[in-house]
């Protein structure tokens, strides 16, 4: 079976003490996950939370973003080297909020993927369509363009380290959720696209997460779909009980 992953993206939430308490509560509630549990807190908390996570099997630390350059005069930015040095194993790249609010383009995201892999970390690469694209039924082509522009330059050995997260933009923070069948349809389309580029063996081994308002109530239904390999969780990752329930919904 493919690697199952539930990743919690805290975004710009929680002060340090709240983040530490949340992490403690998650560790208490999640005893033996059937897949990987990834936590992506704000930058200032990475070192402290990383110390807590590394003592538990299956728990991993992620950053919410990184800069595409190795170093330099980029005030306020954080490099992949810096993230690796504090214990990050994953980096979220191309989240819809980064694309929307910070105008990150596919070429920039490709550079971020490259530098993340070069520093020994795994990209969680986000892709997904806005509502108007979904409504005119061009969502598969839209997402295919994102993947081709930002991932398909990779050699097979590097692509194997990538985690893909499909996040329908119209279902993020809106309370709307793609149905399990809609999620499956898109995840399958992504897997077919990967197979055309890298072959069926690579495609069948690539984790594809769902990232659109997944919560404790719908996680089991979403994760039951054959091509859905877990979730990239936003708001529900800020409550230990909800996040633990989502982790428990991973395929055994």
At 175 the pLDDT is 66
Residues in the chain: 252
| Residue pLDDT, tens place only, 21-33 | 999 999 999 999 9
3-state DSSP call for residue 161?
Answer: coil
Task: Return the H-helix or E-strand segment holding 122.
Answer: strand 122-127
CA–CA distance, 192 with 49 (Å, rounded to integer): 37
Query: Computed from CA positions of residues 25, 27, 28, 29, in that sequence, does the dihedral angle turn out positive or negative?
Result: positive
Mean pLDDT of 50-76: 97
CB-based contact 40:8 (threshold 8 Å): yes
Share of the chain above pLDDT 90, in %: 92
pLDDT band for position 66 (cuts 50, 70, 90): very high
At 172 the pLDDT is 74
Q: Which domains does the chain have, with CATH numbers?
A: 5-248 (3.20.20.70)
At 21 the pLDDT is 98
Options 60, 95, 139, 187, the catalytic residue: 95
Is-catalytic flag, 167?
Answer: yes
CA–CA distance, 190 with 184 (Å, rounded to integer): 10
pLDDT band for position 173 (cuts 50, 70, 90): low
What is the DSSP track for 43-93? GGGHHHHHHHHTTSTTEEEEES---SSSSSS-TT---HHHHHHTT--EEEE
CB-based contact 44:15 (threshold 8 Å): no
pLDDT band for position 95 (cuts 50, 70, 90): very high
At 170 the pLDDT is 82
Options 89, 139, 167, 187, the catalytic residue: 167
**Which residue do the tokens 């308490």 mark?**
21
For the entire predicted model, the pTM comes to: 0.97
Distances in Å between the Cα of 214 and the Cα atoms of 3, 63, 171, 182, 234 are 18, 20, 9, 13, 8
CB-based contact 37:90 (threshold 8 Å): no
Task: Return the H-helix or E-strand segment holding 215.
Answer: none
């Amino acid at each position: 079976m493919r690697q199952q992953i539930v990743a919690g993206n805290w975004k710009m939430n929680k002060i340090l003490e709240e983040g530490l308490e949340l992490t403690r509560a998650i560790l208490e509630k999640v005893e033996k996950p059937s897949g990987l549990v990834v936590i992506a807190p704000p930058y200032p908390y990475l070192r402290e939370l990383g110390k807590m996570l590394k003592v538990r099997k299956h728990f991993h630390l992620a950053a919410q973003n990184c800069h595409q350059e190795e170093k330099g005069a980029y005030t306020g930015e954080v490099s992949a080297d810096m993230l690796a040095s504090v214990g990050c194993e994953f980096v979220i790249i191309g989240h819809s909020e980064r694309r929307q609010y910070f105008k990150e383009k596919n070429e920039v995201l490709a550079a971020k993927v490259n530098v993340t892999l070069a520093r020994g970390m795994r990209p969680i690469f986000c892709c997904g369509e806005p509502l108007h694209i979904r409504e005119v039924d061009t969502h598969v082509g839209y997402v295919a363009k994102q993947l081709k522009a930002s991932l398909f330059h990779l050699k097979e050995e590097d692509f194997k380290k990538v985690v893909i997260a499909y996040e329908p933009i119209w279902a993020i923070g809106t309370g709307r959720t793609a149905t399990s069948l809609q999620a499956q349809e898109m995840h399958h389309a992504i897997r077919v696209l990967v197979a055309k580029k890298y072959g069926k063996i690579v495609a069948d081994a690539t984790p594809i997460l769902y990232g659109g308002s997944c919560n404790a109530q719908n996680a089991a239904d979403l994760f039951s779909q054959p091509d859905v390999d877990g979730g990239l969780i936003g708001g529900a990752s800020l409550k230990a009980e909800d996040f633990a329930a989502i982790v428990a919904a991973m395929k055994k």
